[in-house]
Amino acid sequence: MRVSLRRLALTGASALLTLPAGLSGSAAAAPDAAPRAACSAAATIEKKLPNGTVWRMCWRNDPLAGLVLSDVTYRPKHERAPIRVLAGARLAQINVPYDNGRNEYNDVTQYKFGSLAIPVRQKDCLSGILKSFSVTDPDTGRRHTVKGLCVAVQPRGFAYDGMSGDVGESTDRRDSAQGDDLVLYTVNAVGYYHYITQWNFSDDGTVTAREGATGNLSPSDFDASDSTGRPLGRGSAGKATSHHHNVFWRLDFGPTRATGARVEQYDTHTDGTSAGGYPRVRTTHRTIAKELAGDAANSRWWRIAGTAGKNADGHLRSWEIVQQHTDRYMPHAYTRHDVYFTQNKNCEKYASENEVGGSTSCKSTVDRFVNGERLTHPIVWVNVGFHHVPRDEDQTPMPVHWQGFQIVPRDVTAMSPLTPDRLHDPAHNGDPLD
């Protein structure tokens, strides 16, 4: 059960976030240039990572969606101007149906996810700073300040390791480096769960969206049968009920006046046998011209191209969607697909219960947004499911389980933004034997 004394106590202690002042649309810019974020200093995050990459964006906390990012730009040290990545990024739903069919929750819209932001402790924001915001209790109307957004630069492990002689340098050297991320996260308490909404912005241009779930299993849901839960504690008298976490994100890559935004789908399949007897593999691609509900498949991927012009080699910049493990929840039409590409509409904000956000002029669920419109300003909805079958180790507090995806730069820069300066040269760009 989601409604409990614990739930009521959390509601009384939490509140709706007011939006930082000064947020507005992006400033006008040249077609291939990234517009400078038009938000107040308090709503701006700008960090230069150790390798020279600069990330800049606006942030706010929506009463329903929680942490919302906009005007996200990325500038590696070898680029003269920032490169536009995302016009907007946000959670679009956390759907939680229980296996016994008794309860189902939409934690973003039903419980006003953003109103349940709780303070982040400094010890949990390693080497970072905490940003504060004003919250208003939806029941009492009282306002108070919460230190609820962690902004930190943290190591992410190996960035690269290679031998320069392989690309034609006369003196063969081994180059290696560790990478860093700009990390943003908030914590939101819904019932017995604490959700961690986290975004990592890497020095190589990769963006990682992750939703973590921790807290505690509901003490009212230890009455499952053998087929709908698992025994926790001594013996098998109490079985915690299994459930899904269907997490949706909404990504807006923004319109462009230059090359035109488009979605492309790539598929790789075997195509016969070579003369030497080895399998031959072929990759084909097609433009997704109209709205689509897409399903992941072996060796299938999508990219969003043309929203940030071309790189120095004349190749169209794009961002590839890299999905991680997902457990599809099949009973709902809108949770059956891994990704949706829809034409931008301001009233299409949430993957389900869209009307709760005041969007009465649009359909309720994301699957119904797909109605054959041409994609000129595509919105990407990513659905990642996790089937939580409880285990003894979930006690207590429950270790964080993560679900998410990445968008990875594809041809955004002519060479790796992390390439050592001495190798960042036309002589090492392309065929090393040419």
Query: Predicted confidence band at 143 (pLDDT cuts at 50, 70, 90)?
Result: confident
Neighbours of 101 (CB within 10 A): 9
Query: Predicted confidence band at 29 (pLDDT cuts at 50, 70, 90)?
Result: very low
pLDDT at 28: 34
- Largest distance between two CA atoms of the chain: 76
* Strand pairing class (104-106; 117-118): unpaired
d(CA 433, CA 161): 21
How does DSSP classify residue 337? Answer: -
Q: Nearest CA to 212 among 386, 434, 28? A: 386
Write out pLDDT tens, residues 63-80. Answer: 899 999 999 999 999 999
pTM surpassing 0.85? yes
Q: Which residues lie closer than 8 Å to 193 by C-beta, 6 or more apart?
A: 107, 213, 214, 215, 216
d(CA 158, CA 191): 38
Helix, strand, coil percentages for the chain (3-state, nearest 5): 10, 45, 45
d(CA 114, CA 339): 24
Can you give the C-alpha Rg of the chain in angstroms? 23
Q: Nearest CA to 410 among 343, 310, 299? A: 310
pLDDT at 19 over 80: no
Q: Are 343 and 291 in contact (CB under 8 A)?
A: yes
Write out pLDDT tens, residues 190-223. Answer: 999 999 999 999 999 999 999 999 999 999 999 9
pLDDT at 259: 62
Write out pLDDT tens, residues 174-184. Answer: 999 999 999 99
pLDDT at 35 over 90: no
Q: What region does 380 belong to: left with phi over 0, alpha with psi -120 to 50, or beta?
A: beta
pLDDT at 36: 58
Q: Which residues lie closer than 8 Å to 338 by C-beta, 6 or more apart?
A: 294, 295, 296, 323, 326, 328, 382, 383, 384
Beta bridge partners of 66: 62
pLDDT-above-90 percentage for the chain: 77
Write out pLDDT tens, residues 348-361. Answer: 999 999 998 676 78
pLDDT at 93: 98
Backbone angles phi, psi at 423, to 5 degrees: -95, -10
Neighbours of 175 (CB within 10 A): 16
Task: Show the tokens assigned to 65.
Answer: 């969606």
Query: Predicted confidence band at 9 (pLDDT cuts at 50, 70, 90)?
Result: very low
Query: Predicted confidence band at 256 (pLDDT cuts at 50, 70, 90)?
Result: low
**Chain position carrying tokens 């600069």:** 54
Q: Is the peptide bond before 171 cis (omega within 30 degrees of 0)?
A: no
Q: How far is CA 71 from CA 36, 212, 236, 305, 369, in A?
A: 8, 24, 52, 17, 24
